[in-house]
C-alpha cells in the first residue's frame, strides 16, 4: 500500500477555499486575502505566517456559514474519475491541505476519500477559536510513519510553493495547474485532473 497525496485547493476543487470564504467578509477583505494568498503560493511570502493571518479571519465567521460554503464547493474537472482510477491502481488517495478540517472532510465525502490531513480547528460557541497548523511535509511524514509506508513509495500532486517540501521527498511529484515556482522543478499538467493519470500509471510500472 502507498499513498497519493492530493492538494485540495485548485487541485481537487476549483479555487482557493480560504480566499473564497473571505468573500463573506466583504470585497475589501476578499481582495486583500486573494493577493496575499497568490504571493504566498508563488513563494514571495512566508507561507505559514501568511496562512495564520488568513485563518484568523475565519474566527469572524459562524460555523454555519463555513459549512454552507463547504457543501457548495465545485470539484475540479475530472476529480471524481481521477480519484477512482488512483484507487484502481492500488493507491490510497489522501487529501493534504493547509485549509481547514471542516472543508477538507466535506470534500473527502464528495470524492469518497478516506483520509484527510489539514489544519485542525477548535470550535467553541459555534465559532472557530483556534487552529493547529503544520507543514505539509510534517503531516505526510507522520501519516506515513503511522501506516508504515515510506514517502518514496508515494505520489504528491500540488500547485504552489507550500507543496514543494513534500514534492521533493516523495517518489513521484506532479504539478497541476502549477505556479511557476513548482513548474520550474516538476512535470506539470493542466486542465482536467485526469491528466495526472498517465504519469502515475507509467511510474507504477516500475
DSSP state letters, 171-201 = SEEEEES--HHHHTTS-EE-SSGGGGHHHHH
Tens-digit pLDDT profile for residues 35-66: 988 898 888 888 888 888 888 888 999 999 99
Would you state the pLDDT for residue 132?
93
Would you state the pLDDT for residue 40?
84
Would you state the pLDDT for residue 48?
84
Would you state the pLDDT for residue 7?
98
**Residue 107 and residue 74: Cα distance in Å, rounded?**
9
Would you state the pLDDT for residue 95?
98
> For residue 148, which of 92, 100, 73 has the smallest C-alpha distance?
92
Tens-digit pLDDT profile for residues 92-118: 999 999 999 999 999 999 999 999 999
pTM: 0.95
Which residue ranges in the chain fall short of pLDDT 50? none
Q: Which CATH number is 2-15+73-203's, of 3.20.20.70, 3.40.50.1000, 3.40.1260.10, 3.40.640.10? A: 3.40.50.1000
Angle at CA of residue 65, ends 125 and 108, nearest 5°: 100
Would you state the pLDDT for residue 2?
95
Amino acid at each position: 500500500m502507498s499513498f497519493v497525496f492530493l492538494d485540495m485547493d485548485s487541485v481537487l476543487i476549483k479555487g482557493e477555499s480560504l480566499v473564497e470564504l473571505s468573500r463573506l467578509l466583504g470585497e475589501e477583505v476578499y481582495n486583500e486575502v486573494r493577493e496575499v494568498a497568490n504571493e504566498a503560493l508563488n513563494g514571495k511570502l512566508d507561507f505559514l505566517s501568511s496562512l495564520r493571518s488568513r485563518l484568523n479571519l475565519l474566527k469572524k465567521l459562524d460555523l454555519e456559514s463555513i459549512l454552507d460554503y463547504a457543501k457548495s464547493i465545485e470539484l475540479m474537472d475530472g476529480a471524481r474519475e481521477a480519484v477512482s482510477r488512483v484507487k484502481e491502481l492500488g493507491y490510497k488517495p489522501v487529501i493534504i491541505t493547509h485549509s481547514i478540517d471542516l472543508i477538507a472532510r466535506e470534500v473527502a465525502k464528495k470524492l469518497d476519500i478516506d483520509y484527510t490531513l489539514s489544519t485542525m480547528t477548535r470550535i467553541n460557541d459555534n465559532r472557530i477559536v483556534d487552529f493547529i497548523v503544520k507543514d505539509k511535509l510534517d503531516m505526510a511524514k507522520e501519516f506515513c510513519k503511522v501506516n508504515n509506508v515510506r514517502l518514496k513509495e508515494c505520489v504528491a500532486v500540488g500547485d504552489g510553493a507550500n507543496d514543494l517540501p513534500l514534492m521533493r521527498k516523495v517518489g513521484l511529484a506532479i504539478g497541476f495547474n502549477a505556479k511557476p515556482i513548482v513548474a520550474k522543478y516538476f512535470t506539470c499538467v493542466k486542465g482536467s485532473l485526469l491528466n495526472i493519470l498517465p504519469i502515475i500509471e507509467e511510474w507504477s510500472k516500475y
